[in-house]
Amino acid sequence: MSASGGSVSIGYYGMGDKQCQYPVHGRVKGDTWSKTVRRSQHMLRKPPAWAVDAADLDRATRCGVRWLELYEAEQGVTYRVVLETLRQRGKVFDRGFGQQVLLPLGYWQTGAPVAPPPDEPRQGVLW
């Protein structure tokens, strides 16, 4: 994905005879959609949860993605969830940034702190 002159070039992933559009935020590799986030800027406080763009979730699902991984850059923790859990247990909301789907922290698997992925695109500040 690249942005130039106000337009965004969207990546496509070939799946046999069909193509699907990648999520706009983050990247897809194999069956995993990954994003880098910052706890202080992106984690919801009420309820304590992570959220993703609803349109990105739909795109990832159509591309056959199975997992979502959020790398939290401030503490070096990776949060991981099966996309189906996010779709079934998540709640849709809109606090002024478009429709998003939140999933409380209790549903996420966490890993030990690790180094950031190389050349990982980072989500911009939302407010």
**Model pLDDT for residues 16-50, shown as the tens digit of each residue:** 434 678 789 999 999 999 999 999 999 999 899 99
**Model pLDDT for residues 80-127, shown as the tens digit of each residue:** 999 999 999 999 999 888 999 999 999 999 976 555 555 555 556 565
Question: Does 56 map to a domain?
Answer: yes
- Name the residue range of residue 50's domain: 2-110
Question: Does 121 map to a domain?
Answer: no
Question: Does 127 map to a domain?
Answer: no
CA-based diameter of the chain, in Å?
A: 43
- Sequence-distant (6+) residues with CB within 8 A of 106 are none
For the chain, how are helix, strand and coil distributed in percent, rounded to 5? 20, 45, 40
Question: Does 94 map to a domain?
Answer: yes
pTM of the predicted protein model: 0.73
The number of domains in the chain is 1
Burial 37-76 (b: 16+ CB within 10 A, else e): beeeebbbeeeebbbbbbebbebbbbbebebbbbbbbeee
